């Protein structure tokens, strides 16, 4: 297919965690026509299907290849920011972990001006999504499109991490998504079936692609939405070296992700007036919040230990266990979420300290960050990469939380539980506070969870209302992680799938 000559009722941009769900749900109505546009190609590749191969997907044709601006509070280092570029988006690109988040995340959304998005509102949606294979719970769903399972035969190192957390005084969680307060250590839930990745493509998109009212267009990059006054009437995209337009009779829904959705808005003249004028783009709508409020979980790469003897081979995704805890007991919910990684992980600046590949890693993280960043355009050229300022560790609160996370992880890593495996702690070792903060600034990296650049809410810095409609433009919504008012305190894939389901309910209503 080189050109589309017809209109569709709905045009969905981005076949990722939310977009695939949305396209599948909308086409359950046989009277509705949907075009789903995806910049990448097929996800049907051995390296995608193997859940342990996710670190190999972060460069090359399956990734957007974006990097951050120099991290001003992290010694001006530049971090790669992996984003999936294929059917399934980041659900075809990530570590297959399934984490809903803490109930206060969603209650906070509701309290901040987003009625309909509280924990009581979204819990039934999460249950509708799941086909949970673990112990029955009133908080879990079965029979849904997404296969979710505990790890099969987990790595003894990951089991040891949980035991080390228990010896350090932390509770052990039987099921992280059935925990009310989400405090303690446990195994991740995984979207893995029969040893292979099970993504939104498998659960939603492939079953829907047999429907005549769904058209999926791959290798097509959407540059901007087409406006008629203050109404969105379609999109403009590039495919095979040519520019095309397609008309949307009802709505366009951007599900291009936390980087892609604001980028498309800005290229369309929708965004902060000064930013648009600085790159010579005519202002269609002066929407101050577009590209602002960027949040990401900061991950340390990492606390590395040399293994005594041979490192046990990877199992499942190679990162099977995690924990949540509070850096300050006065917090309403957890703000740190370390993850155990069954291989060595260090930032490029510290990689020369790794003795060999027979090492394992405990990676602390901050999952309720105070730091905020931005997405801006480098120019009006649609082929230029955006300017992504993640701004990690720019607030003292994040440094304080990360210090607490490092201390907890070192206590676990040096506990008696790891005695059979631990030859020595490679890094960071028992540093003073000043040196430990420098280690943090040289080690911090993305946890692959950027959100919130098209914030939902009802204040002047919000981009969409609680029905996901873009302010100032008719016929345009956004449904992806960019609409989160604040990032959830856990891996963001499951909430993104929930956003796709919620968007479908709103549109059909």
Q: Active-site residues: which are they?
A: 449
CA angle 255, 229, 23 (to 5 degrees): 20
Q: How many CB atoms lie within 10 A of CB 331?
A: 15
Q: CB neighbours (10 Å) of residue 240?
A: 10
Listed residue (195, 180, 182) closest to 149, CA to CA: 195
Closest CA to 114 of 391, 484, 389: 484
CA distance 241 to 508: 35
Per the DSSP assignment, residues forming a β-bridge with 153 are none
d(CA 462, CA 3): 35
CB 141 within 8 A of CB 129: yes
Specify the residue for token string 């990059």: 221
List, edge to edge, every strand of the sheet that includes 321-324.
184-187, 321-324, 339-341, 359-363, 303-307, 422-427
Rounded Cα gap, residues 290 and 283, in angstroms: 13
CA distances from 274 to 66, 295, 329, 376, 458 (A): 24, 22, 42, 11, 22
Contact 334, 353 (CB under 8 A): no
Question: Can you name the residues that pair with 214 across neighbouring β-strands?
Answer: 34
Backbone φ, ψ for residue 88 (5° rounding)? 95, -15
Contact 24, 207 (CB under 8 A): yes
CA distance 117 to 220: 32
Structure tokens, 33: 């026509």
For residue 85, what is the DSSP state? -
DSSP for 314-345 reads P-TTS--EEEEB-SSTTSSS--B--EEESS--
Rounded Cα distance, 70 and 78, in Å: 5
Q: How many residues does the chain have?
A: 509
- Collect all residues with Cβ–Cβ distance below 8 Å to 126 and sequence separation of at least 6: 100, 141, 177, 494, 498
Between the two ends of the chain, the Cα-to-Cα distance in Å is 33
């Amino acid at each position: 297919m080189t050109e589309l000559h017809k209109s569709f009722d709905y045009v969905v941009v981005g076949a990722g965690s939310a977009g695939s769900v949305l396209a599948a749900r909308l086409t359950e109505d046989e009277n509705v026509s949907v075009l789903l546009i995806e910049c990448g190609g097929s996800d049907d590749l051995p390296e995608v299907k193997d859940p342990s191969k996710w670190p190999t997907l972060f460069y090359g044709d399956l990734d957007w290849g974006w990097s951050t601006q120099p991290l001003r509070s992290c010694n001006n280092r530049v971090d790669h920011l992996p984003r999936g570029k294929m059917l399934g988006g980041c659900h075809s690109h990530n570590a297959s972990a399934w984490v809903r988040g803490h109930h206060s995340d969603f209650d906070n959304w509701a309290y901040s001006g987003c009625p309909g998005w509280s924990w009581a509102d979204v819990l039934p949606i999460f249950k509708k999504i799941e086909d949970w294979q673990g112990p029955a719970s009133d908080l879990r769903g079965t029979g849904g499109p997404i296969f979710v399972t505990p790890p099969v035969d987990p790595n003894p190192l990951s089991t040891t991490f949980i035991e080390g957390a228990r010896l350090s005084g932390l509770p052990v969680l039987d099921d992280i998504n059935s925990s009310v307060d989400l405090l303690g250590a446990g195994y991740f839930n995984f979207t893995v079936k029969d040893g292979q990745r099970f993504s939104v493509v498998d659960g939603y998109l492939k079953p829907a692609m047999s429907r005549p009212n769904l058209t999926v267009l791959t290798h097509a990059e959407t540059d901007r939405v087409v406006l008629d006054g203050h109404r969105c009437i379609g999109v403009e995209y590039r495919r095979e070296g040519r520019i095309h337009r397609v008309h949307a009779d009802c709505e366009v829904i951007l599900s291009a992700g936390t980087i892609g959705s604001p980028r498309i808005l800005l290229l369309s003249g929708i965004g902060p007036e000064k930013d648009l004028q600085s790159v010579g783009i005519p202002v269609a709508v002066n929407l101050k919040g577009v590209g602002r409020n960027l949040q990401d979980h900061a991950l340390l790469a990492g606390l590395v230990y040399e293994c005594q003897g041979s490192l046990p081979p990877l199992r499942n995704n190679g990162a099977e266990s995690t924990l949540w805890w509070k850096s300050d007991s006065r917090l309403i919910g957890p703000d740190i979420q370390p993850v155990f990684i069954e291989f060595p992980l260090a930032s490029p600046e510290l990689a020369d300290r790794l003795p060999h590949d027979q090492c394992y890693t405990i990676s602390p993280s901050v999952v309720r960050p105070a730091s905020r960043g931005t997405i801006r355009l480098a120019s009006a050229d649609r082929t230029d990469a955006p300017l992504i300022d993640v701004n990690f560790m720019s607030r003292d609160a994040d440094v304080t939380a990360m210090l607490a996370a490092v201390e907890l992880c070192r206590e676990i890593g040096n506990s008696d539980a790891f005695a059979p495996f631990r030859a020595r702690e490679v890094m960071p070792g028992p540093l003073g506070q000043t040196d430990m903060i420098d280690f943090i600034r040289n080690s911090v990296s993305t946890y692959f969870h950027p959100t919130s650049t098209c914030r939902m809410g009802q204040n002047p810095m919000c981009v969409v209302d609680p029905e996901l409609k873009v302010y100032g433009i008719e016929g345009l919504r956004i449904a992806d992680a960019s609409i989160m008012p604040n990032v959830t305190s856990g891996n963001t894939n499951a909430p993104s799938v929930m956003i796709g389901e919620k968007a479908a309910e709103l549109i059909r209503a």
